Amino acid sequence: MAIEVDEIQLPLTGGCACGVVRFEVSAPLLSANYCHCTRCRRRSGTGASANARPEPGSFRVVAGEDRLRAWKPDGGFEKWFCSECGSALFSRSPDDPERMSVRLGAFDGDPGIRPTVRQFIAYAAAWERIPDDGLPRYPKSAQAD
């Protein structure tokens, strides 16, 4: 499936809605998905959360690190957000901080990648039909994590 993506400028930049927290990604993103799980639905207030996996070591917070807070649910990635405005920014493995994903909606411009799978559709919102976009669908996780 060919998806047209404009040439991107590195580093990719992004941040929260109030602008206190800013981040950069210094390498092209590796993969992206839509997650329909209950946690993503609740923490984002949407039917699905679009997330991208950065290359290990390429993500860094450049402003507002002291304002970041995390929800650390049992058996799941830490969900980091801005404590000033509540924007969801990224998630991170509690065991290995290099295993993380960044919320696509937090990027300033084109992040240079498109979601290619839909996961946890067994938990999809009742009020929104999953789009007929041809993406493979997984009832639960599309990957080992």
Q: Which residues bind Zn ion (CB under 5 A)?
A: 16, 18, 20, 35, 37, 40, 82, 84-85
Q: Among residues 8 and 78, whose Cβ is nearest to Zn ion?
A: 78
Q: Among residues 63 and 85, whose Cβ is nearest to Zn ion?
A: 85
Cα separation, 102 vs 54, in Å, equals 7
Least Å distance, CB 18 to Zn ion, is 3
Q: Please, are residues 112 and 8 in contact by the beta-carbon 8 Å criterion?
A: yes
Q: Among residues 24 and 27, whose Cβ is nearest to Zn ion?
A: 24
Q: What are phi and psi of 14, to 5 degrees?
A: -170, 180
Cα separation, 41 vs 100, in Å, equals 18
Least Å distance, CB 25 to Zn ion, is 18
Least Å distance, CB 6 to Zn ion, is 27
Eight-class DSSP state of 131: P
